[in-house]
Structure 1
């Protein structure tokens, strides 16, 4: 999936990395709660183990999933992989400020660039899948994660679903969310246009489940929802 990965990483340049922390919390109502619950779901799935190695795919930006997991489980360590250098650097800055950088192996690149003999106890894929164009590339990404997980290991997947134009009420509410946070009418219009053109989310929860099944994961449990956004926990079969 190198071509699609290159396409995705090019979207997250320095200017987007600089604004990501603020804008992601507007675009996703409940941003922090989703990441906190993701940590709770992984801890519950693993049985509160004192140590674990967790793969964090698309970790660039806020590194919020790592911060949440690290606060809950002081013995866990993390491998953070992201193809965007500005986004990974932004994550490193957040981790350094939180005193967590020593617990994280920062990897610039893609999942398929990681050593093939590594095996992880758990993984997260948050805010990534809807930026990967096409089901084939989405499936390839999920499979590349699956092969690096131990048998039965949990995976948290979170991101947008639905063809945006198919849900006009949700789309309008998403625009109202931006207006609620002080965006002008022109800015709301621009952001609505950008979301319609800039991503390729799975078209339903059933489509998410199918992608996971085809990649070697079991049934997924939804634990968070916010307009277009959903978050699920599944496990490697």
Structure 2
């Protein structure tokens, strides 16, 4: 396991996994809408009412992308990968609640651990890139996903971009979002400190596109935005 992978999985321990479903929906206004639209974008790209197998990278926590895709396309099946055992356990609970474990293979680990001779019809990478420190680990995970996709297969990439401190108005609006949800002044300050120190998002939308291009993906279409967060659909250029 690389140092970047160890750092990523170490962030998501039992305490974080237990609060993830609630916290993520506050931190990202439109959390469910983003996942719903991700499913719609993949269905629009792949075509509807057909069988497909989707690679879901960083599936731990809510498994919301799988839940949304499965509801829209009953013939789709999923391979869920996450390096954090507590987060993957939380995802399994949500999948069980939606009767989706029979349509989902769950793997504790990384994309590179999967069989190399299996190529997927599409993939998602939601809420992952900004947790990887530096550009090279971001390129590496995108490139690894690219090698596991069929030619022309779509990929959803979603996560924070911008250096947080470079966008003071967005940062303050993000703080107000927490206050809106009942956080005290001290709690808001703690959240601000955590976001400023705890992640390394790409510094612009152009930087996100550059990372995708360098990993072998085509120009992306942006379909969702919420403060620092963006979501794009791109396709394997091979």
Q: TM-score range by the shorter chain?
A: over 0.9
Aligned partner of residue 74 in structure 1, secondary structure: coil
Aligned to 1:40: 40
What is the rounded CA distance, in whole Å, between the counterparts of 2:2 and 2:49 in structure 1? 35
Aligned to 1:185: 185
What is the rounded CA distance, in whole Å, between the counterparts of 2:220 and 2:128 in structure 1? 17
Aligned to 2:217: 217
Residue 115 of structure 1 and its aligned partner are, at CA, apart by: 1.0
What is the rounded CA distance, in whole Å, between the counterparts of 1:207 and 1:48 in structure 2? 32
CA RMSD of aligned residues (A): 0.7
Q: TM-score, normalised by structure 2?
A: 0.99
The 4+ residue runs of structure 1 with deviation greater than 6 A are none
Gaps of 5+ in 2: none
What is the rounded CA distance, in whole Å, between the counterparts of 2:5 and 2:198 in structure 1? 14
Gaps of 5+ in 1: none
Aligned to 1:56: 56
What does the per-residue CA deviation read over 1:162-206, in whole Å, with 9 as the maximum and x for residues that have no partner?
A: 000000000000000000000000000000000000000000000
Alignment of 1:156-195 (within 5 A): 156-195=156-195
Matched, 1:102 2:137: no
Residue 49 of structure 1 and its aligned partner are, at CA, apart by: 4.5
Aligned partner of residue 26 in structure 2, secondary structure: helix
Residue 2 of structure 1 and its aligned partner are, at CA, apart by: 1.5
Matched, 1:76 2:85: no
What is the rounded CA distance, in whole Å, between the counterparts of 1:224 and 1:2 in structure 2? 31
